[in-house]
Every structure is written in structure tokens, then in C-alpha cells.
Homo-oligomer: A and B are copies of this chain.
Amino acid sequence: MDDRTGQRTVAETAARRPENRYGNRPTMKDVAARAGVGLKTVSRVVNGEPGVTPDTERRVQEAIEALGFRRNDSARVLRKGRTASIGLVLEDLADPFYGPLSRAVEEVARAHGALLINGSSAEDPDREQELVLALCARRVDGLVVIPAGDDHRYLEPEIAAGVATVFVDRPAGKIDADVVLSDSFGGARDGVAHLIAHGHRRIGFIGDQPRIHTAIERLRGYRAAMEDADIPVDEAWVSLGVTDPERVRTAAETMLGGPEPVTAVFAGNNRVTVTVVRVLASLDRPVALVGFDDIELADLLEPGVTVVAQDAAQLGRTAAERLFRQLDGASQAPERVELPTRLIQRGSGELPPAG
């Protein structure tokens, strides 16, 4: 014992049951023995249930303090069914787009007394599935998924078993499930129309990989705006692919070179925008730019970056709220919620065509 605290030291505790390094904790049984009461009485005190005299309660509390008891929720879950935790599978926690989304989901979870288990799929469908199933094995009550893959039939038994599920940012593949999206099509169409309104006709589109729903939708928006203005799209102006700086830089440089370069670029997401801004900064002529997703400090660049902003936090909040509504038993049919985007003019999208 440590004389000052009366607490067992690490070494002593470890020695007590050397065969079990981590399960080595006081249980309700231990507390009951120490307090001289029955197991169920301890359970009542720990869970704040009525029917315990103040005196008994005090004795139990003392035993809990002395032993450093903490209820084992794993065991509790096993009996109760619910884990009070939800899972969030997204592409990359380090992407500034997902930070606020993730935080919003966490806030809603917290308001419902649930913890958040977080995982990044790194845009890999297998990894997404692996993560989701690991979460299901932990018996999370619900899942918020930003899908990487396009086939989610593997979730059918889970959903049938009562795991609440909401997809965000992109719809589920081959199953019918709730989904919360931004209006990628409309946002991109408006952004490109904005460039056209400022006199551009040769407009480039650089987007994410074509297997990603938002990439396709935004490209569709681009094509719609071009068509509305009767501008035939030269396929050399369109580039989809991974969003790492090298690929985007090459794509941008290609469509900005040659005899008939584009005079404006529409960037398909925040990662693309950042790289395109860098490329444009190194040019000696002004090229207009509108980006999908807002980015920090976009207002302070010269020119400011005009963007089609989506509200990542609102996306997360809406999804999480739907999730808990499912859990609260309001089992409506799966729904598709689409949040509007907002064009923010800061200068780069209002530049006229150069040369």
C-alpha cells in the first residue's frame, strides 16, 4: 500500500492476480464483499436505482472509492443489448473537410449519451467494409458512413439486426438507406454558370476519381452549365483522378498549356482547389477559379478564392440526428436529404478571361 493514499500501487495490484494482466480490476462482487452487502445492492448504487437506504449507500460508496471500482461496461452491454456508442467511418480524419463533420457527429452523440468510434477508410472499399464490420462486431448502436465503396449489401444483415445506419456525403450502393448529401450537382452547375457569366467559355474541370459519387455529380453539374450556355465541352478540359498534388498539378498545367488554354478552372473539391491555387499563383496571366468546398484563408489570398461552400458540420449533424431518430424507434422509410450549397464570391471567380 501507498501510505499516503491507501491506494494499492501498480506493482501490488499486478501481483495480486498475476495470471491476468488486464482484467485485474475490482468487480461489483469485490465491492459487495468489502461493503458487506449483496451484489445487487452494489448494482443499485452504481446505477442510481432507488431502494437503498442512505446508510447502505454510503457504505457501498466507500467501498467503491477504496477499491477504485469502475463499472465494466462491456459486461453491461452484454446484458443490456445497447452499447451507447456509434461508429463513424470516413475517408480521412486529417482532411479539413471531415474535422468539422466528425465533430458535429460527436456532439450529437454526446447529447444522446453515446461515444463515437472513428475510422478512416482511406478511400479503400475493402478497408471501409473491414472497419464497418469491426464496428458491428463491437455492437455499435448505429453507423454513420461516408462510403468509399459502391456495394453495401454486406450491411444487410446488420441493418436487419437493428443497427441504425446513415450514409453521408455519398449514397449507399445497392441497398436502400438513409443518406445526407450536399447538392453537388447544383453547386457545381451554379459555380460553372458563374464563370460563364463572367465571360469564360474554355473552362476546365478537375475532379476526384470517377468512382466517387460527388466527383461524378459535380462533373454532371459542370456539363449541365456548359450545355445550358451552348458551349461544347472539349474533353481535354476535363480531368478526373486522385487528388494528390502531383496529379492535379499535371492536369492543371496540361489544360492551361497549348494554343487554346482554358481561361478558368472549376476545382472539384478542397484538395484540388489548394493545388490549383498554387499552380495559378505561378502563372503570369490571370486565370479564373471557382472551387467546391470552402477553404481556410481563402478570403485572404490575392485574389480571394471564390468557392461553392458546403456545410460539413451541418452534414454531420443532420446525419447523426437522423441516426438517433432511427434508434428512437421512428422507423420511417429511408430518405435522401440534400443540403444546399452557397456560392461565395471573393474575386477569383469574377476574373474576366485573359488574353
Q: In the assembled complex, which residues on chain B have CB atoms less than 8 Å from the CB atom of A120? A: 103, 106
- Are the CB atoms of A134 and B156 closer together than 8 Å? no
A77's closest neighbor in chain B, by CB?
B74
A135's closest neighbor in chain B, by CB?
B115
- Are the CB atoms of A92 and B82 closer together than 8 Å? no
User: Shortest distance in angstroms between A244's beta carbon and chain B's nearest beta carbon?
Assistant: 15
Could you show 6 A-B contacts with beta carbons less than 8 Å apart?
A21-B329, A70-B137, A74-B78, A115-B117, A281-B300, A300-B301
Contacts of A56-107 to chain B: CB distance below 8 A = 68, 70-75, 77-78, 81-83, 85, 92-96, 98-100, 102-103, 106
User: Shortest distance in angstroms between A287's beta carbon and chain B's nearest beta carbon?
Assistant: 15
Q: Known contacts being A100-B94, A162-B14, A297-B277, is A137 close to B24, with CB within 8 Å? A: no
Which A residues lie at the B interface, using CB under 8 A?
Answer: 5, 7-10, 13-14, 20-25, 68, 70-75, 77-78, 81-83, 85, 92-96, 98-100, 102-103, 106, 110, 115-120, 133-139, 141, 156-162, 274, 277-278, 281, 295-298, 300-302, 313, 329, 331
Query: With A and B bound together, what is the CA distance between A13 and B70 in angstroms?
Result: 35
A8's closest neighbor in chain B, by CB?
B160
This chain's copy number in the assembly? 2
Query: With A and B bound together, what is the CA distance between A10 and B334 in angstroms?
Result: 12
- Are the CB atoms of A93 and B82 closer together than 8 Å? no
Query: With A and B bound together, what is the CA distance between A96 and B93 in angstroms?
Result: 10
Q: In the assembled complex, which residues on chain B have CB atoms less than 8 Å from the CB atom of A134? A: 115
A5, A7, A99, A313: residue with the most chain B Cβ atoms closer than 10 Å? A99
- Are the CB atoms of B98 and A138 closer together than 8 Å? no
Q: In the assembled complex, which residues on chain B have CB atoms less than 8 Å from the CB atom of A8? A: 160
- Are the CB atoms of B106 and A99 closer together than 8 Å? no
Query: With A and B bound together, what is the CA distance between A102 and B133 in angstroms?
Result: 21
Q: Which of B68, B78, B103, B106 contacts A78 (CB 8 A)?
A: B78
Q: Which of B5, B93, B162 contacts A21 (CB 8 A)?
A: B162
Query: With A and B bound together, what is the CA distance between A313 and B94 in angstroms?
Result: 9
- Are the CB atoms of A103 and B93 closer together than 8 Å? yes
Q: Which of B102, B103, B160 contacts A10 (CB 8 A)?
A: B160
A280's closest neighbor in chain B, by CB?
B300
- Are the CB atoms of B82 and A22 closer together than 8 Å? yes
- Are the CB atoms of B302 and A10 closer together than 8 Å? no
A114's closest neighbor in chain B, by CB?
B134
Q: Which of B9, B71, B81 contacts A22 (CB 8 A)?
A: B81
Query: With A and B bound together, what is the CA distance between A156 and B5 in angstroms?
Result: 10
Q: In the assembled complex, which residues on chain B have CB atoms less than 8 Å from the CB atom of A83? A: 74
Q: In the assembled complex, which residues on chain B have CB atoms less than 8 Å from the CB atom of A92? A: 103
User: Shortest distance in angstroms between A240's beta carbon and chain B's nearest beta carbon?
Assistant: 23
User: Shortest distance in angstroms between A175's beta carbon and chain B's nearest beta carbon?
Assistant: 11
Q: Which of B102, B137, B158, B298 contacts A73 (CB 8 A)?
A: B137
A81, A110, A297: residue with the most chain B Cβ atoms closer than 10 Å? A297
- Are the CB atoms of A72 and B137 closer together than 8 Å? yes
